[in-house]
Amino acid sequence: MSLEEEEPSQLDLLKRHKFYSCTVFTAVILMTLAAFSLLIFYPLLSHWGPRFGVVSTLTKLNKLNLEKGNLLNVNITLFTNFTNPNKKAAVDFKHIVVELYFGQTIIATKNVEPAFSVAKGGTGSVEVDMLASKVQLFELEIQRLKNEMLKDKILFEVKGRFLCQSKLWRHHLRYSYHMHGQCTLTFKKPPLGVLVSTKCKTKKFKSFF
C-alpha cells in the first residue's frame, strides 16, 4: 500500500476520534443537566405526588350473593379518582390496574385503558365495572361475609397500580414513577348498595427516568 493511500486513512481515523469525543462529551453534559434537573424537581414531585381514591357518591354495590353457600358473586360500579395536587406539572397516568379484594382473596381485576393526562392541580375520574363470578372464598371469609351482611356493612378493598409520568423542563425531561393506591370501602348491602365510608392511601414505590 502506498503512502498516498495511507494518509487519507489516518485523517479518517482522526476525524472519527474527534466525532466520538464530541459525542461522549455531549452525552455527559446531557446526563449532568438531567441529574441537576432531578435534584431541583424531585422534592417538589415527591411532596406533591398523585393520589388514588374513590368517588363515594357514585360508587355502588349492585350485586352480592353467595352461590351454593361458598361461591361469591359481586358487581360493583367503581368510580376511581386520580388526583394531581402538583401546581407545577401535569401528570400522565398509564398502565393502570385495579384489583378488588374481599379479605385476602382477589375477586376481580381490571385494566384501565387508554392512558390519560391530568392537568396541574386537577382530578380525573374513571368508571370501572368490577365483576366477580363464582369466586371461592376461604371458610373464615365466608363467615365474615355472612356477619357483615347481617350488620349491613360489607367491607371490600380496592388496590390500584399505575405508572405516572411528569413532563419537566418544557417537556424535554420526563420523570416517571410507579404508584400504589389502596382503599377500604364499606357498603350497604344491595339493593341499596351505597358506599358509606372510604379510607384511601397512596404511596410511591419506584422511581426512574
* CATH for 51-205 (1.20.81, 2.30.30, 1.10.12, 2.60.40): 2.60.40
Q: Which of 4-13, 57-66, 197-206 is predicted least confidently?
A: 4-13
Q: Which residue has the higher pLDDT, 41 or 180?
A: 180
Mean of pLDDT values over 136-164: 97
Q: Which residue has the higher pLDDT, 45 or 76?
A: 76
Question: In the prediction, which pLDDT does 20 show?
Answer: 64
Question: In the prediction, which pLDDT does 37 show?
Answer: 53
Q: Which of 81-90, 108-117, 146-155, 189-198 is predicted least confidently?
A: 81-90
* Burial state string for 70-86 with b = 16 or more CB within 10 A and e = fewer than 16: eebebbbebbbbbbbeb
Q: Are 96 and 111 in contact (CB under 8 A)?
A: yes
Cβ contacts of 191 within 8 Å, gap of 6 or more: none
Q: Are 183 and 202 in contact (CB under 8 A)?
A: no
Report yes or no on whether pTM surpasses 0.85: no
Q: Is the pLDDT of residue 153 over 50?
A: yes
Q: Which of 79-83, 88-92, 159-163 is predicted least confidently?
A: 88-92
Cβ contacts of 11 within 8 Å, gap of 6 or more: none
Mean of pLDDT values over 40-62: 78
Taking alpha carbons only, the member of 162, 182, 161 closest to residue 101 is 182
DSSP-derived 3-state class of residue 173: strand
In the chain the first and final C-alpha atoms are separated, in Å, by 50
Arithmetic mean of pLDDT over the chain: 84
- Tell whether the torsion through CA atoms of 51, 57, 63 and 66 is positive or negative: positive
Question: Which band of pLDDT confidence, cut at 50, 70 and 90, is reported for residue 54?
Answer: very high
Taking alpha carbons only, the member of 127, 100, 132, 124 closest to residue 112 is 127
- DSSP class of 137: P
- Whole-number Å distance between alpha carbons of 112 and 50: 17
